[in-house]
Structure formats: C-alpha cells, structure tokens
Chain A
Amino acid sequence: MTAPMLQLADVTRVHGEGEARVIALDGVSLSVAPGELVAVMGPSGSGKSTLLNVAGALDLPDQGQVLVEGQDLASLSPRELAALRRRRLGFVFQDLNLIPSLTAVENVALPLELDGVSARTARRQASDALESVGIRDLASRFPEEMSGGQQQRAAIARALVGERRLVLADEPTGALDSTTGEAVLRVLRERCDDGAAGLLVTHEARHAAWADRVVFLRDGKVVDTTGDPASPESLLTAGA
C-alpha cells in the first residue's frame, strides 16, 4: 500500500491564552497520498491557514502528530525541520511567490542550490520543472516580465522541483482571473496525477472541485469530507 506523503493525526493547535484563547485546530486528522490532491474548505477563521502551516512544518501542533513521508516532525531538530522544508515540501501562496531579482529558472533552482546541489544540476532540474508546468520557454524571464498565471506556474514548478513531492497551496489562484486561475489548477492537478501529493486551501468551491477529496473545516474541526482517502487501486489508475 502507498504510504501517505502527509499525515495529520488528531492535531490540535491553540493560539493565545485566557480570554484570547482560540482553538485553531481541534483534533484534525487527514492524510494525503502520492497522486492525490486534497482541498480544504472553510470560512475565514475555520483553521485553514493554521492547518497548512502545521502541515508545512512552519508551526507545530500542541497535540497530535504530523508525519511527512512517515517521519514525525516532532522528532526533528529545527535544523532537520529546515532541511525537510527545503527538500520535501513546496509552498505556493496567493502572491509574492517569486524573488523579483531572479529569473524564473533561478527562482525554481534556488531551493536546490540552498540545499547544496551543484548549480548545473539545479539549473537542469529547474528547467525540467518549468517544462512540466508548460513554461520552459520563459526560463530567463524575471517575474515582472511574466503574467500572474505564468508566475503561479513557476511557483508550482519550484514547489515540486527535484525530489520535492508535496505541494502546499494557499489560495494559489486568489489574485488571478477565473480562466487563468483554472489553468493554474489544471497544472497542479496534472502534477498530482504524475505522482505528487497536494494540499490545497481555498474558499472557492470551483477550485476545490479539482481535488480528489474536499475536507470541510469549521471552528478548527473537520465537519465533513467528500470521500474516503484514495485506495491504492484508484491511485494506480490515476498514475497510469
């Protein structure tokens, strides 16, 4: 059976104390397997962003476990967590994804170079990643020379460059018009069909509809989901 790429087991995260105490996540369990795109929907304040931060090792839970490729994040030192974020996880935000002074290919190659991969290998892998999102020909453009949709494609390429197989996306289409936003989700969907695992936070049902499963979050709790985690059989079909 395919092990989940990301697993949250009974995760609770509390912000603040006393009167200002807010239970941002309240016993949330969820898993994302390779080949799967899972969307998280919920109103403002339902815990979506906290969930993504916890899943991306940017924030630690007060209770429960977060496992990335079977590794419990609580067992890692800050240095190991930073390495895991560089090597295993990719983030795509609503905007401000790319460094303005670097070209598209340099932006995508950056996490690899930070991790000690040779410039040449990093550049080659970054070009491959740009190819996979359909913008290899824009490799030498600076972000300001690219449209919003092209920048988000580059951000997805960077999130999944090299060995990275888990992409965490926070409203990645928020600043785009509906047709461009759809094209970006199509790319994210294709990357997951090719074996990546994706967790997509959105408040737009039309965007969540690209996912295999939708998890509804309310007051920090999972209140419903559109289906069971994908079975190994269906993942095999999806990857074929």
Chain B
Amino acid sequence: MYGAQLRQEFESRTGGTWPLNVGQVYTTLSRLERDGFVEASGAADEEGRIEYRLTTAGRAEVQRWWSAPVDRGQTPRDELAIKLALAVTLPGVDVPSVVQTQRTATMRHLRDLTRLKVDATEDLAWSLVLESLVFQAEAEIRWLDHIESRLARVRPTRPDASSTAGHRRTTDAEATR
C-alpha cells in the first residue's frame, strides 16, 4: 500500500474524525522501515510512489497490538475536569452556570453526532466510531448531572426553604418508586 493510500483508508474507516497529515504518514513509514516492521516492495513507480508491505516482524507486532488492551493507565489532560475542579475551589465562580453551559454545548454536540449517525448506518466502521463519540458525550452529560446533584447536596441554591423542601419530597418519592 502507498502512503497516500494508507492515509485515505485510515480516514475513510474512521470517518475523518482524526485527520492525518500525509507528511506524518511518510515519517511513520520511514521509522517503521528503519525498525524492520515494513519494507518497500520494490522501486518507486513512474509517479514516484513506493509501495510498502509488512515484514514478518511487522505482522507479529500487529498481532500483539490486536491481542493487547489499549493502555488506560495514562490519563490524558481533560480541560473540562480541570475547569470544574478549579471552579468548585475558587470563590466567585458560578458553578451551576458553568455546568449548565457545558451541558447545553455537549448536548448540541451529541445531537450533531446523532444526525451524522442517521446517515452512517450502512458503514459499520464509521458508525462504530460515531457511537464511541456518542457514548463519550453522553457520559460527559451524566457526569455534569452528577456534579449538579452533588453541589445541590453540599450547598442548596434555592432561597425559598419551603419550596425546596417540597421539591426534595417529590424527588425522594420518585426515587423510591
């Protein structure tokens, strides 16, 4: 497979969610070649393209990748988690508003993903990538709901004590149904 072909296949199978720079593809191919995982199957064709194929060591490495879990030990930096952690520890930040603004934005994102999914049903690979993004957005909204209910327990926001008590009663009644 040529470098440009690799890029095209990667992007079509993942719906262009993570665009690849063609330079990045060739840099990676030359590193893989240096490490003995891929080799050129011949000289460059008349358009200057070189076809690459996996070596035996490359196939073994791919097999190892399929059989090993993806490393979840490292936590990538999450701007939203950091933002909320700072918001709840700083005076003067309207945390419920931060939560609601984010929930609305994530809900919009989730709606857009759902619209894309309607058109992607025939394409298994792309629809699975979309569903992964859908579940992530959904998880984020659940987490924001969770923050809100924790904050409500820590610091009740409603000034009207009687109606707050009334709402609590409703909530408890519904929760025990």
Q: Is B149 an interface residue (CB 8 A)?
A: yes
User: Beyond A20-B169, A22-B170, is A209–B162 a contact (Cβ under 8 Å)?
Assistant: no
Residues of A within 8 A of B106 (CB): 205
Q: Is B134 an interface residue (CB 8 A)?
A: yes
CB-nearest residue of chain A relative to B139? A205
Q: Is A77 an interface residue (CB 8 A)?
A: no
Contact B138 A206 (CB under 8 A): yes
Residues of A within 8 A of B158 (CB): 219
Contact B107 A226 (CB under 8 A): yes
Residues of B within 8 A of A219 (CB): 158, 163, 167
Within the assembled complex, what's the spacing in Å between the Cα atoms of A211 and B138? 15
Binds A, one of B28-36, B53-61, B108-116: B108-116
Contact B118 A205 (CB under 8 A): no
Within the assembled complex, what's the spacing in Å between the Cα atoms of A16 and B111? 37
Main secondary structure of the interface of A (DSSP, over half): mixed
Q: Give the total of A residues in contact with B, Cβ under 8 Å.
A: 28
Question: Which of B104, B134, B142 gathers the greatest number of chain A CB atoms within 10 Å?
Answer: B104
Within the assembled complex, what's the spacing in Å between the Cα atoms of A226 and B141? 13
Within the assembled complex, what's the spacing in Å between the Cα atoms of A155 and B55? 58
Residues of A within 8 A of B100 (CB): 216, 223-224
User: Beyond A22-B163, A22-B167, A45-B171, is A209–B134 a contact (Cβ under 8 Å)?
Assistant: yes
Residues of A within 8 A of B108 (CB): 226-227
CB-nearest residue of chain A relative to B110? A209
Within the assembled complex, what's the spacing in Å between the Cα atoms of A214 and B114? 13
Contact B114 A45 (CB under 8 A): no
User: Beyond A21-B166, A44-B171, A205-B141, is A224–B134 a contact (Cβ under 8 Å)?
Assistant: no
Contact A209 B104 (CB under 8 A): no
Contact B166 A43 (CB under 8 A): no
Residues of B within 8 A of A233 (CB): none
Contact B145 A21 (CB under 8 A): no
Q: Is B38 an interface residue (CB 8 A)?
A: no
Residues of A within 8 A of B114 (CB): 206, 209-210
- Which residues B68-97 have CB closer than 8 A to chain A? none
Contact of A43 among B104, B111, B118, B149 (CB under 8 A): B149
Residues of A within 8 A of B163 (CB): 21-23, 219
- Which residues A163-198 have CB closer than 8 A to chain B? 186, 189
Contact B103 A43 (CB under 8 A): no
Contact of B175 among A21, A44, A227 (CB under 8 A): A44
Contact of A214 among B111, B167, B171, B175 (CB under 8 A): B111
Contact A16 B166 (CB under 8 A): yes
Within the assembled complex, what's the spacing in Å between the Cα atoms of A146 and B138? 30
Within the assembled complex, what's the spacing in Å between the Cα atoms of A202 and B165? 24
Within the assembled complex, what's the spacing in Å between the Cα atoms of A43 and B100? 13
Residues of A within 8 A of B107 (CB): 41, 205, 208-209, 214, 226
| Chain A interface residues toward B at CB < 8 A | 16, 19-24, 41, 43-45, 186, 189, 204-206, 208-211, 214, 216, 219, 223-227
27 contacts between A and B (CB under 8 A): A19-B162, A19-B166, A20-B166, A22-B163, A41-B107, A43-B145, A43-B149, A44-B170, A45-B174, A189-B118, A204-B138, A205-B138, A206-B134, A206-B138, A209-B111, A209-B114, A209-B134, A210-B111, A210-B114, A211-B111, A214-B107, A216-B100, A216-B103, A219-B158, A223-B100, A224-B103, A226-B104
